[in-house]
Amino acid sequence: MKSTSRQFNVNAHRALNDATLQTALLRVRPGFVDRRKAALDALADADELRQRGRAIKERTLANLDQYLLEFEQNVQANGGQVHWARTAAEANDIIVGLCQQVDARSVIKGKSMVGEETGLNDALEGAGMQTIETDLGEYIIQLAKEPPSHIIAPAIHKTRGQIAELFRHFHDPAKYSGPLESVADIVDEARAVMRSNYLAADVGITGANFLIAETGSTVLVTNEGNGDLCSSLPDTHIIVTGIEKVVPTLNDASVMLRLLARNATGQDITSYTSFFTGARRDGDKDGPGNFHIVLVDNGRSDMLNNGYREMLRCIRCGACMNHCPVYRVVGGHAYGWVYPGPMGAVLTPLMSGLEQSSPLPNASTFCGRCEEVCPMSIPLPKLLRQLRNEAHQQQYGSRSSRGALSLWAAVARRPALYRRLSRWASLVLRLFRGRVPFAGGWTRSRDLPVPSGDSFMRQWQRTKGDANE
């Protein structure tokens, strides 16, 4: 998927003026937030669990090479193969090659953000393979030829009417002509369409939420069961995931699962939590004969040592974007790449280059909600601030914005000048009733309070003087 993150400002304005999108976003805003809060409030040891999860990820990242090698050895012991991909292109080449080895013509996929990251669908289709998404949200946006708008709810930006229109356009009217007036109607029709695809597929591809070093198992969570069908019906199962998903033990995985579902969807646990451990064994009645895991780096190793290591703790729950005041009004597509919201505003510059995505670190109010709700306690505002500093130092962004920041820094370093200018600004705000000249972008859609009297510094100095008398 080509990044359009450089165009964030244009994308955001378009989203804010899209009445249909705003209707869709408004409808889903409270659900994620309220369900997450209820799930965590009901958990007596929520804070302790969060600390344990963070400690597990930190311990793993400190010894990442060791745990990855242990994971590989145990996968091989269970009849599977591990493939290492340094880049997105390498990952796609490996997966296309594995599909070609079994002469695959039809590929079914479960939701995989790493697959979105590498542009896997385009690579498979370019090699002549029919590729079908089986997660309902991913299936909808595949029909619409759009990227996901949310990492756990890819079609969150679509209204029910838009989905019904897509189905009417792409589904065979001779088989599916009934009204699609409810969510149940949409789900039933998608299920009926998908059944033949599961049975005809040569290869199933899924992602993985966690990798367990001590057993060589992968963990996949879904609420639709499509991941289980993708992994068990075709004779070849390929898992594509990032190297940071490994955890040392089964007990560690159980801690992470308790955190993931509650923070993502407000569930105690997802409807389907599946553990896959190798290929079909002698005596097994089902399962894949070929079991492959493609571990993708794509910049993750660099994060270990470049000041952004904390971002590798992310478990892709989506809590940061669900609570973000920016994401909640512009949606995911405004961010221009696979990962939206606060986590995407950090990950995208690190993966696709800061020059290509320099507006994203500025797509934040720094309200701190993202860090507050993150189950891994990732200091997202701090990381965004680091990226802002780097973008300024490398002279990305407009000259006017860089000039304004340099001017602000010069004033802020000179307290006497700052106080004089603050008094002048207070007079201007009173004169223009909260409207700032030459700053229409700030005041066109918001009202600044009109100063009611002296500045804090003047009042403090006067109080100090009175106290000395």
Q: Is residue 356 part of a domain?
A: no
> Which residue, 260, 282, 301, sits at the end of a domain?
301
Q: What is the pLDDT of residue 5?
A: 85
Q: Is residue 329 part of a domain?
A: no
Q: Rounded to whole angstroms, how far apart are CA atoms 118 and 122?
A: 9
Place of tokens 């919201």: 341
- Of 90-104, 126-140, 215-229, 425-439, the one with minimum mean pLDDT is 425-439
Q: Select the more confidently predicted residue: 4 or 458.
A: 4
**φ, ψ for residue 331, nearest 5 deg:** 75, 180
Q: Select the more confidently predicted residue: 296 or 469.
A: 296
**φ, ψ for residue 384, nearest 5 deg:** -65, -40
Q: Is residue 26 part of a domain?
A: no
Strands 246-247 and 272-276: unpaired
Q: Is residue 338 part of a domain?
A: no
Q: Which residues pair with 222 in a beta bridge?
A: 272
Q: What is the pLDDT of residue 460?
A: 79
At 193-251, the pLDDT tens digits run 999 999 999 999 999 999 999 999 999 999 999 999 999 999 999 999 999 999 999 99
Q: Rounded to whole angstroms, how far apart are CA atoms 298 and 313?
A: 16
Q: Are 425 and 287 members of one domain?
A: no
Q: Select the more confidently predicted residue: 164 or 456.
A: 164
Q: Is residue 327 part of a domain?
A: no
Q: What is the pLDDT of residue 109?
A: 97
Q: What is the pLDDT of residue 429?
A: 74
Q: What is the pLDDT of residue 155?
A: 93
Q: Rounded to whole angstroms, how far apart are CA atoms 386 and 382?
A: 6
Domain count, the chain: 2
- Of 75-79, 300-304, 342-346, 452-456, the one with minimum mean pLDDT is 452-456
Q: Is residue 63 part of a domain?
A: yes
263-281 in b/e burial notation, b at 16+ Cβ within 10 A? bbbbbeebeebbebbbbbe
At 338-366, the pLDDT tens digits run 999 999 999 999 999 999 999 999 999 99
> Which residue, 301, 317, 335, sits at the end of a domain?
301
Which tokens belong to 20?
């249909």
- For residue 114, the enclosing domain spans 43-301
Q: How far is CA 289 from CA 73, 128, 430, in A?
A: 19, 23, 75
Q: Are 65 and 197 members of one domain?
A: yes
> Which residue, 258, 284, 301, sits at the end of a domain?
301
Q: Is residue 380 part of a domain?
A: no
Q: What is the pLDDT of residue 435?
A: 66
At 254-276, the pLDDT tens digits run 999 999 999 999 999 999 999 99
- Of 16-30, 83-97, 319-333, 373-387, the one with minimum mean pLDDT is 16-30
Consecutive H or E run containing 206: strand 203-206
Q: Rounded to whole angstroms, how far apart are CA atoms 207 and 194?
A: 19
Q: For the chain, what percent of residues have pLDDT higher than 90? A: 75
Q: For the chain, what percent of residues have pLDDT higher than 70? A: 94
At 407-451, the pLDDT tens digits run 888 988 998 888 888 878 777 777 776 666 666 666 666 666 777
Among residues 116, 63, 115, which one has the least CA distance to residue 94? 115
Q: Is residue 295 part of a domain?
A: yes
Q: Rounded to whole angstroms, how far apart are CA atoms 192 and 242?
A: 32
Q: Which CATH number characterizes residue 111's domain?
A: 3.40.50.10420
